[in-house]
Every structure is written in C-alpha cells, then in structure tokens.
Amino acid sequence: MATLNVDLSDLDAIQSKLPQGKPIVMLNLLRFRADALYPDHGFEDLPKVSGREAYLTRHLPAFDRIASPLEDSHPLWLGTVLSQVVGPPDVHWDDIALIQYENFALFRTIVESDAYASEADPHRNAGLEDWQLLALVPLEL
C-alpha cells in the first residue's frame, strides 16, 4: 500500500522515541509517478511534467524556501537507484534522499507548517507514487 503523507498525529509518539536536541537524518525512499497528478489542489494550470520533475523542480525548491530560514537542515545525499542488490523483487525505489536536521523538532516545524502544506506538500503528493520516510540516528559504538 502506497504511503504519501506524514501522519501529523503520530509525531509526538515518534519524537518521544528519538534523542532530544540531537541531529537526525531522514531517509526518503522515493518511487515516482510516470506523470505528476494534481487533483483539486489549484495547480491544474501548471505545465504537465513527470513525477520526478514535480518532485525535483517543484517540491524540493519549495521545501528549501520553507526550511532555509529556520535552523540548520541540509541534504546529505540525493541519488538514483540503479539496481536492487538484495530485497523483494516486487519492491523498487527510484531515488533516495538523506536530509539532516538539527533535531526532530525542526523537521516537525517544517512539516506542520501552513507553508509546507500549501507550497511543498502538493508537489510531493503529485510526484510520488510511493514513499517511505525513516528517522535515523548514528549508532553509539
């Protein structure tokens, strides 16, 4: 089953499991639609693009505009999956992104904002067929 949205009601429980005030990396597993789909979002007049284009050229710039005035967050890596080496043959991801946030509270501030809901989220939803988002912290060895 495809998942496309952060369930804001789950963020308190997720935050309680994470170290407070410590950097966090969010792993984004991305599968794109062939064509971006904008149902009832007021973006119907935009030129038609692929799902990948909607994500990379519309969602990411909007996300950056929202996140950049806040505390430190920055992409660590964005890349294309060329081949699956291990895993179920019926599961594939097109691109993977690693984004570091100064802390989980910063991530929440972004995704809970009205600006994110109106400027970035519609393009992410239009571009993605499926998405998984995992919160990561480094191992303490």
From residue 40, alpha-carbon distances to 3, 37, 63, 111, 127 in Å are 19, 10, 21, 20, 14
4 pLDDT exceeds 60? Answer: yes
From residue 89, alpha-carbon distances to 30, 79, 122 in Å are 16, 20, 30
Higher-confidence residue of 115 and 4: namely 115
**Structural domain boundaries, residue 120:** 22-35+49-136
% the chain with pLDDT above 90: 66
Structure tokens at 73: 């967050």
Count up the domains in the chain and report the number: 1
Give the number of other Cβ atoms within 10 Å of residue 21's Cβ.
Answer: 9
Question: Residue 132 belongs to a domain with what CATH number?
Answer: 3.30.70.100
Q: Is 9 within the bounds of a domain?
A: no
Q: Is 125 within the bounds of a domain?
A: yes
Q: Is 40 within the bounds of a domain?
A: no
pTM of the model: 0.89
